[in-house]
């Protein structure tokens, strides 16, 4: 949520800085701005409402100049989307300019105190309060570093801040508290970013800041210190494993489609994660009296799929709680393991759930895509899923990889608990190994057909996604995909639930999708079909996503997407990919903003 970039160099950095925030746009894109300074110490700020290219053209970003600068791309959380509220924000005398992510919870009190001292506010943001506070501290202390640190000590809430100042020309000051920030170490310049995309074009060497730390960065070096004590911290430089090419579209019209097509390879990677890591996680899960899995949005549904795999193959039912509700519901203690699922590793709600768990002495674990992220660094047990950068705001490949990792952990736990035999687990693992090819075949052979169905049904405004057993969370996740990328209303529910009320909605303007189990899953198969029949009996449209059967009779579907006979262990995963394509093609037919749907951000780092 919101992206910060900063560069300090010898030479002009304007174009590099604009590129940096363009690469961060997936974090937020309702407004943006840059602040640049050169040797004279004059800071020029330019900003406005709109995406980077649009504002850059309107405000002539590329005509500015400077060898040190900070920039921001915003997804509004505090104050409306207006030019005045866009970042960077400057002190009244323009000597200090900052960008900020996060939410300062005591901004009202600080604003009142600063107001009494004569500070005037041009925006409704908490960020402007911070920059005035730094200015106020500088007037008292006369040192930039002391002013910056003292101001940080007065802030409550969350922040990642980057600052340049006319009083200390060659330096970027930055700090972090529960909002991601890292440094990039280059050969002739240094960088600051809310994630590595800010500087991956220029360097792959990074230094991760921890909560409660600040850094001072010049073009030649950097120093990291503790906000509370001012003591210097030794921190290693780490080499990032991703490069820009991996993050580019590679010929696909949208990142979403590219990432859907990357899934065979991503599943391979999830299957190649070292067995020892999977075993350690399984051991951690079964060694504790209480086992919780948490995530939010898509990762909540991933956790729900995991819950069914644990129940079906390990004989335990973990408690699955959406991370935004975690602290209001979860009774965790020192006998609990809390496993968080997160692509970014920075989602505020999920971080809060982990903090809640840690504060109560529970063990923590995570399955995460982004190496070095906050969650990755705070948990006792970690599996890095290795899915590569996911640029589309909508999560596809990362979520599928997490499902695979959870299925693997469930199998290990099942063997450890003697709920299944090692031989049974081996058979299931072999089935998982068939998934990449099955997905590949589906993408190559069924995409055009799924596209045609999506086109034909694109005038429908309401969808019900139904499934039972392990197919129920698949239905919920698929409904979320449809909503967020196509802006079409969709609801996911257990198909058995339908007759308890929702069936009253069946009419011409509501389509249903039924995620049909394999024929081998006899009860589930029969029960799911009877829900489809209930809808057909009321003349409702039903799209069946099903596998080939030996049955002669026609199944109760208006249209169907028929997948080859597939082992039931991997069947739900294949249907997830069908749903990705269905929502993608519905959204392209409706001409939606695929990679950056309205009102969404890739990494939601606010409460
Ligand atoms: C949906 C989506 C979101 C995220 C959620 C958690 O496609 O991407 O629902 O799944 O915001 O994000 P992470 O996984 O980064 O914790």
- Mapped onto helix, strand or coil, the DSSP state of residue 9 is strand
Segment 551-589, tens digit of pLDDT: 988 999 999 999 999 999 999 999 999 999 999 999 999
The β-bridge partners of 71 are 5, 34
Per-residue pLDDT at 239 = 87
Please report the sign of the dihedral spanned by the C-alpha atoms of residue 585, residue 590, residue 591, residue 593: negative
Looking at ligand 1, which residue's alpha carbon is closest to its atom 11?
Answer: 297
Q: How many angstroms separate the alpha carbon of residue 208 from the centre of ligand 1? A: 22
Q: Which H or E run includes 226?
A: strand 222-226
Give me the mean pLDDT over the 287-295 stretch: 97
Report how far residue 104's alpha carbon sits from residue 91's, in angstroms, rounded to the nearest whole number: 17
- Ligand 1 site: residues with CB under 6 angstroms? 296-299, 342-344, 347, 350, 394-395, 484, 603-604
Segment 191-214, tens digit of pLDDT: 999 988 899 889 999 999 988 999
Q: How many angstroms separate the alpha carbon of residue 271 from the centre of ligand 1? A: 22
Output the average pLDDT for the chain: 93
What angle in degrees, to the nearest 10, is found between the helix axes of 471-486 and 571-589?
A: 20
Answer yes or no: is pLDDT of 244 > 80: no
Give me the mean pLDDT over the 261-288 stretch: 94
Answer yes or no: is pLDDT of 520 > 90: yes
Segment 387-422, tens digit of pLDDT: 888 889 999 999 999 999 999 999 999 999 999 999
Question: Can you tell me which atom of ligand 1 is nearest the CA of 350?
Answer: 16
Mutate to test the pocket of ligand 1, among 180, 296, 479 (most ligand atoms within 8 A of CB): 296
Per-residue pLDDT at 74 = 86
Burial code of 578-605, b = ≥16 C-beta within 10 A, e = fewer?
bbbbbbbbbbbbeebebbbbeebbbbbb
DSSP state of 210: P
Per-residue pLDDT at 599 = 80
Q: How many angstroms separate the alpha carbon of residue 399 from the centre of ligand 1? A: 8
What does residue 159 show for φ and ψ, rounded to 5 degrees?
-160, 150
Same topology for domains 252-429 and 434-607, yes or no?
yes
Answer yes or no: is pLDDT of 335 > 80: yes
Per-residue pLDDT at 25 = 80
Q: How many angstroms separate the alpha carbon of residue 602 from the centre of ligand 1? A: 7
Per-residue pLDDT at 324 = 97
Q: For residue 406, give the nearest of 516, 524, 320 by alpha carbon.
A: 320
Task: State the catalytic residues.
Answer: 2, 602
CATH topology of domain 252-429: Rossmann fold (3.40.50)
Per-residue pLDDT at 28 = 65
Report how far residue 358's alpha carbon sits from residue 378's, in angstroms, rounded to the nearest whole number: 9
Question: Can you tell me which atom of ligand 1 is nearest the CA of 344?
Answer: 15
Per-residue pLDDT at 151 = 97
Give me the mean pLDDT over the 516-534 stretch: 96
373: confidence class by pLDDT, cuts 50, 70, 90: confident
Q: How many angstroms separate the alpha carbon of residue 600 from the centre of ligand 1? A: 10
Give me the mean pLDDT over the 55-81 stretch: 89
The yes or no reply on domain 434-607 and CATH 3.90.76.10 is: no
Looking at ligand 1, which residue's alpha carbon is closest to its atom 9?
Answer: 297
The CATH number assigned to the domain with range 3-247 reads: 3.60.20.10
| 7 Cβ neighbours under 8 A, 6+ residues apart | 13, 16, 17, 20, 68, 69, 189, 190, 191, 192, 199
| C-beta separation of 409 from 276 below 8 A | no
489: confidence class by pLDDT, cuts 50, 70, 90: very high
24: confidence class by pLDDT, cuts 50, 70, 90: confident
444: confidence class by pLDDT, cuts 50, 70, 90: confident
Question: Can you tell me which atom of ligand 1 is nearest the CA of 343?
Answer: 14
Distance (Å) of CA 304 to CA 23, 39, 300, 402 = 32, 56, 6, 11
Q: How many angstroms separate the alpha carbon of residue 302 from the centre of ligand 1? A: 10
Q: Map out the domains of the chain as residue ranges.
A: 3-247, 252-429, 434-607
CA atoms lying within 13 Å on the CB side of residue 89: 25
Per-residue pLDDT at 1 = 58
Mutate to test the pocket of ligand 1, among 353, 398, 604, 607 (most ligand atoms within 8 A of CB): 604
Answer yes or no: is pLDDT of 607 > 80: no
Segment 293-334, tens digit of pLDDT: 999 999 999 999 999 999 999 999 999 999 999 999 999 999
Per-residue pLDDT at 161 = 97
Per-residue pLDDT at 250 = 63
Answer yes or no: is pLDDT of 606 > 70: no
Question: Can you tell me which atom of ligand 1 is nearest the CA of 300?
Answer: 10
Per-residue pLDDT at 173 = 98
Answer yes or no: is pLDDT of 77 > 80: no
Mutate to test the pocket of ligand 1, among 27, 299, 490 (most ligand atoms within 8 A of CB): 299
Residue with tokens 């939601």: 604
Looking at ligand 1, which residue's alpha carbon is closest to its atom 10?
Answer: 298
128: confidence class by pLDDT, cuts 50, 70, 90: very high
Per-residue pLDDT at 245 = 57
């Amino acid at each position: 949520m919101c992206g910060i970039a900063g560069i300090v160099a010898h030479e002009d950095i304007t174009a590099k800085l604009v590129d940096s925030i363009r690469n961060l746009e997936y974090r937020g894109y309702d407004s943006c701005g840059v602040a640049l300074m050169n040797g004279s110490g004059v800071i020029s700020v330019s900003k406005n409402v709109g995406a980077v290219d649009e504002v850059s053209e309107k405000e002539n970003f590329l005509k500015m100049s400077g060898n040190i600068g900070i920039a921001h791309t915003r997804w509004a959380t505090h104050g409306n989307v207006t030019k005045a509220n866009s970042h960077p924000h400057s002190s009244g005398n323009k000597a200090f300019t900052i960008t900020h992510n996060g939410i300062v919870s005591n901004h009202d009190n600080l604003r009142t105190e600063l107001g009494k001292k004569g500070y005037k506010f041009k925006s409704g943001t908490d960020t402007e309060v911070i920059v005035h506070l730094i200015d106020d501290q500088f007037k008292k202390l006369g040192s930039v570093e002391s002013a910056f640190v003292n101001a940080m000590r007065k802030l409550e809430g969350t922040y990642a801040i980057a600052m340049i100042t006319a009083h200390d020309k060659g330096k970027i000051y930055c700090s972090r508290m529960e909002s991601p920030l890292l440094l990039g170490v280059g050969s002739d310049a240094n960088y600051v970013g809310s994630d590595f995309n800010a500087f991956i074009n220029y360097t792959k060497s990074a230094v991760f800041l921890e909560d409660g730390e600040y850094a001072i960065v010049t073009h030649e070096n950097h120093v990291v210190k503790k906000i509370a004590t001012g003591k210097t911290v030794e921190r290693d430089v780490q080499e990032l494993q991703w490069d820009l090419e991996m993050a580019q579209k590679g010929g696909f019209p949208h990142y979403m489609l590219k990432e859907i097509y990357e899934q065979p390879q991503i599943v391979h990677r999830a299957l190649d994660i070292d067995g020892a890591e999977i075993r350690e996680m399984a051991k951690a899960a079964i060694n504790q009296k209480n086992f919780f899995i948490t995530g939010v949005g898509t990762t909540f549904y991933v956790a729900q799929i995991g819950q069914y795999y644990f129940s079906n193959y390990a004989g335990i039912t973990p408690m699955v709680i959406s991370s935004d509700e975690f602290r209001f519901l979860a009774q965790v203690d020192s006998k609990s393991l809390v496993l968080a699922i997160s692509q970014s590793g920075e989602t505020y709600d999920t971080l809060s759930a982990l903090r809640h768990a840690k504060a109560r002495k529970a063990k923590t674990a995570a399955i995460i895509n982004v190496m070095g992220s906050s969650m990755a660094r705070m948990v006792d047990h970690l599996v890095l899923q290795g899915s590569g950068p996911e640029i589309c705001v909508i999560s596809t490949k990362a979520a599928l990889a997490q499902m695979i990792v959870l299925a693997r952990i469930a199998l290990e736990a099942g063997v450890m608990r003697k709920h299944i035999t090692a031989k049974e687990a081996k058979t299931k693992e072999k089935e998982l190994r068939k998934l990449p090819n099955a997905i590949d075949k589906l993408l190559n052979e069924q995409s055009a057909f799924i596209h045609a169905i999506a086109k034909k049904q694109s005038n429908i405004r309401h969808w019900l996604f139904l499934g039972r057993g392990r197919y129920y969370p698949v239905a919920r996740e698929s409904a979320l995909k449809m909503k967020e990328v196509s802006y079409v209303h969709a609801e996911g529910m257990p198909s058995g639930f339908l007759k308890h009320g929702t069936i009253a909605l069946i009419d011409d303007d509501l389509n249903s999708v039924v995620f049909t189990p394999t024929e081998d899953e006899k009860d589930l198969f029969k029960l799911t079909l009877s829900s489809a029949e209930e809808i057909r009996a009321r003349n409702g449209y039903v799209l069946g996503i099903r596998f080939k059967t030996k049955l002669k009779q026609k199944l109760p579907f208006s249209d169907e997407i028929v997948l080859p006979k597939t082992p039931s262990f991997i069947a739900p995963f294949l249907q997830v990919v069908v749903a990705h394509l269905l929502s993608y093609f519905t959204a392209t037919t409706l001409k939606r903003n695929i990679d950056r749907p309205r009102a969404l951000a890739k990494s939601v780092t606010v409460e």
